[in-house]
Amino acid sequence: MLSEFLSPTLVPWGSGGLAFLVAVALTPVVQWGTRKTGWVARPEAEKWHTSPTALLGGIAMFAAGGVVLAGGVGAEAFPAPVWAGAALLFVAGLVDDMRGLGPWAKLLVQLGSAVLALSGGLLFAPAAPLWVSLPLTLVWLLGLPNALNLLDAMDGVAASVAVLAAVFFGGVAGLQGLPAQATVAAATAGAAAGFLVFNAPPARIFMGDCGSLVLGYVLAVLGLGVQGGGGGAPALVPVLILAVPIFDTTFVSVTRTQRGESVANGGTDHTMHRLARLQWSERQVLALLCGGGLLAGGVGVVGQVGPPLLFYVLAFGVMATALGSGWLLARRTAPSPEGAPRPASFRTGPPPSEPAPPDPETASAPAGRRSPTESR
């Protein structure tokens, strides 16, 4: 146990470092194994990436976090049912990545994980009446895993945003005197950062649903754990820390609804795709979204240490900026590239017994561009 070798203030740092090292060590192993067995994400017309890329990187992240928790560090932050909810999503995500799950099966699993978290006593805005906090909690626990899943639409974006959010949650937990929650946040940040070494553009491996759903769930649980038992500013803090995935999911949902399209389908109409169509490179898009996460997360920290009036003014500024940015982005960009050639369609999974000859356009295209995993 790290707590036997480190002082209490260093345990979160040690946990994050250990999770990082385990993820860095395991991710290439998972990458090799998935390529060897053929479990790769193959290009499709509605996806962003243009070459087959290893999948199931979430296995390495889940194992990295599990090593820390198995060592007895941070596991006491939440009751056992909460961790069971994470394990349930991991298994379901793994099955979806490898075999595919229908939308109703996914919803049932996500409801099960939300119920497990609720049974552990977690509530959004717990000071509010139950008839208010209970539906908000369900929306939070169902929405955040899907938000991270949707955000996993371009190399490095979901992992980078998750690292930043986990770091902010760790800082807030430290300010509130919650060392166990700070340790879980540090382990989450370390595991995602270790995976990011291989997922940064151009990505060599994708996390898959088994990674994005679990990351979103753990971040949602951390958000519920650092509210301080109150409403108002404490309830807004996790919303601001997770502003980037919340913004992207809201943006995609609103624009697709306006076009009469299904929100659940895959596509290249996310925030990062539209920015790319404004001639931003993938690295510039990644830097911009991380900058937004830093700004909003910093305002969330102000809610813990600053005067309430300043916090509410800054929070209003963040929301106004998000609304204005979404409006401009929707007006200035098309939901999908017009007239641009798309890669030939392939299914995710093992290669056929007689692989088709490579497409010259696909073979020469840059690697590492993809869309959300919900359409696999």
Please indicate, yes or no, if residue 349 is contained in any of the structural domains.
Answer: no
Polymer length in residues for the chain: 376
Is 367 part of a structural domain of the chain?
A: no
> Does residue 67 sit within a domain?
yes
The confidence score (pLDDT) of residue 358 equals 46
Radius of gyration of the chain, Cα coordinates, nearest whole angstrom: 20
DSSP run (H or E) holding 40:
strand 40-41
Give residue 230's pLDDT.
52
Structure tokens at 328: 């401009």
Collapsed DSSP state (helix, strand, coil) of residue 269: coil
Handedness of CA 185, 186, 188, 192 (dihedral sign): positive
In a domain, 179, yes or no: yes
Is residue 350 included in any domain, yes or no? no
Question: Which string of DSSP letters, residue by residue, matches 220-268?
Answer: HHHHHHTSTT-SSHHHHHHHHHTHHHHHHHHHHHHHHHHHT--TTS--S
Dig out the tokens for 44 from the structure: 């499709």
d(CA 66, CA 218): 12
- What's the pLDDT score for residue 208? 92
Angstrom distance (rounded) from CA 207 to CA 162? 12
Asked if residue 341 belongs to a domain, the reply is: no
**What's residue 46's pLDDT?**
54
Residue 338: the pLDDT is 54
Per-residue pLDDT of the chain (376 residues; tens, 9 = 90+): 555 555 567 788 889 999 999 999 999 999 999 988 888 877 665 555 557 788 899 999 999 999 998 877 788 999 999 999 999 999 999 999 998 888 899 999 999 999 999 999 999 988 888 999 999 999 999 999 999 999 998 899 999 999 999 999 999 999 999 999 999 999 999 999 999 999 998 889 999 999 999 999 999 999 999 986 555 677 899 999 999 999 999 999 999 998 888 787 777 888 998 998 898 988 999 999 999 999 999 999 998 888 889 999 999 999 999 999 999 999 988 887 654 433 333 334 444 444 444 444 344 333 343 433 333 3
> In angstroms, rounded to a whole number, what is the distance separating the alpha carbons of residues 280 and 294?
19
How far is residue 143's CA from residue 238's CA, in Å, rounded to a whole number?
13
| Residue 238 belongs to a domain | yes
Range of the domain at 318: 2-336
* Residue 370, domain member (yes or no): no
DSSP, residue by residue, 85-107: HHHHHHHHHHHHHHT---HHHHH
Q: How many domains does the chain have?
A: 1
Q: What is the pTM of this model?
A: 0.86
